[in-house]
């Protein structure tokens, strides 16, 4: 029994001596928006290509909708819509014709449905212009339109907001949220952490072909913070904060001491220091941004 919509089991891809994806395990459940994060060359695209049967795995397997992908690739992939890397269409066809062609790969598609999708991605006014004349943002919108055209159960979007202006990014973000609310499972691959954080319910982080973290977005990409006490020495701060912070969470820092105790409140620190007649130059809270969290995570896992 498999309740997962999509499952990668021990997925491996080797190109000669290079291991592009190394025993990756991943599961997506119905209705969730899953963010797939990783630095360049981490193996994101190769993984997505294996999930879509564009690249054959060297080992491991992909399960879609409870069935093994290799048993019925054409039947299973008809239920998937995808935008892989840059949107790729026939440059000499119009947006409308390209959607018609893309729809007919999986089955008959009505002119009304094509119009609906063009409207959804904001391309109605340019529907009859050739694809080659589109801006990067318009191409991206058409790619997303093609992905959702046939009402798929699973949508795979690789860097969907590339080339979009801020208003376009918000629209696509809303579209992804809406797809999730309507019960469509979405896999979004992106390098923009803030973007993934806003739409994804769960995320997976890949580095060196391996999934190094997966779980609820709020747990993994929660910005972390710590307190810095400037102008005091380690021993006296540890003595003053005894009982409210563990010894291990207090470390020497440049010009003072750092306290890694997320739940500790600033006024408690100041009060304890004052009682011990310790008067620092500053007590300040330092917040790490998402990029730092991500880099720390990927570097720690890579042993850097």
Partner 1 sequence: MASLARLTGNELLKITRRRLVWALLAANLAFVLAAWLVQIYYALRSPDGFQAGHLLGGTNGIFDAIGQPMTLGRRSGEFIAAALGGLFVGGEFATGAIRLTLSRGVKRLAYLVAKLGALALTCAVLVLVGVLASALLSLFLPLINPQAPTWADITPHILGELGGLYLGTLANYLLCLLLGAGLALVARSAAFGIAASFAWLIGGDIAAQILPAVGASVHSPIGHDLVRLMFTPNVNALYAAGLPPYLRATLDRLDGVIACNPVGTHVCSQVGLAQALPVALLWMLVLGLAGVVLFVRRDVKE
Site for partner 1 in 120-159 (CB under 8 A): 143, 146
List 8, 34, 49, 153, residue binding partner 1 (CB under 8 A): 49
List 30, 66, 75, 223, residue binding partner 1 (CB under 8 A): 75
Q: Is 86 in the site for partner 1 (CB under 8 A)?
A: yes
Q: Is 80 in the site for partner 1 (CB under 8 A)?
A: yes
User: Do residues 2 and 66 make contact, with C-beta atoms less than 8 angstroms apart?
Assistant: yes
**Residue 53 CB, nearest distance to partner 1 (Å)?**
7
Using CB under 8 A as the criterion, what x/- string covers residues 87-106 for binding partner 1? -xxxxxx---x--xxx-xxx
Site for partner 1 in 196-225 (CB under 8 A): none
Piece of the chain touching partner 1 by CB under 8 A; list 22-30, 47-55, 178-186, 278-286: 47-55
Q: Is 76 in the site for partner 1 (CB under 8 A)?
A: yes
Q: Which is nearer to partner 1, 35 or 143 (CB)?
A: 143
Q: Which is nearer to partner 1, 87 or 256 (CB)?
A: 87
Q: Is 73 in the site for partner 1 (CB under 8 A)?
A: yes
Give me the residues that bind partner 1 (CB under 8 A), please.
Answer: 49, 52-56, 73-78, 80, 82, 84-86, 88-93, 97, 100-102, 104-108, 143, 146
């Amino acid at each position: 029994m498999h309740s997962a919509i999509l499952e990668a089991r021990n997925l491996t891809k080797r190109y000669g001596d290079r291991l592009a994806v190394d025993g990756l395990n991943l599961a997506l459940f119905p209705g969730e928006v899953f963010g797939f994060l990783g630095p360049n060359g981490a193996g994101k695209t190769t993984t997505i290509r294996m999930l879509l049967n564009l690249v054959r795995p060297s080992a491991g397997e992909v399960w879609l909708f409870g069935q093994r992908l290799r048993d019925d690739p054409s039947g299973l992939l008809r239920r998937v819509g995808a935008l892989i890397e840059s949107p790729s269409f026939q440059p000499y066809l119009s947006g409308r014709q390209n959607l018609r062609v893309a729809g007919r790969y999986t089955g008959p598609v009505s002119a009304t449905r094509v119009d609906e999708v063009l409207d959804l991605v904001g391309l109605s006014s340019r529907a009859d212009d050739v694809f080659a004349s589109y801006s990067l943002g318009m191409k991206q919108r058409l790619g997303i339109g093609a992905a959702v055209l046939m009402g798929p159960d699973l949508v795979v979007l690789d860097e969907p907001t590339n080339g979009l202006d801020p208003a376009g990014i918000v629209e696509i973000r809303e579209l992804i949220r809406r797809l999730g609310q309507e019960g469509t499972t979405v896999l979004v691959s992106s390098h923009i952490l803030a973007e993934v954080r806003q739409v994804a319910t769960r995320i997976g982080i890949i580095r060196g072909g391996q999934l190094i973290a997966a779980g609820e977005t709020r747990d993994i990409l929660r910005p972390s913070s710590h307190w810095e006490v400037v102008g005091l020495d380690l021993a006296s701060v540890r003595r003053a904060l005894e009982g409210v912070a563990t010894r291990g969470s207090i470390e020497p820092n440049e010009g003072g001491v750092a306290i890694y105790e997320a739940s500790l409140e600033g006024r408690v620190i100041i009060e304890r220091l004052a009682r011990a007649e310790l008067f620092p130059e500053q007590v300040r809270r330092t917040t790490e941004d998402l990029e730092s969290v991500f880099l720390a995570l990927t570097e720690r896992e890579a042993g850097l």
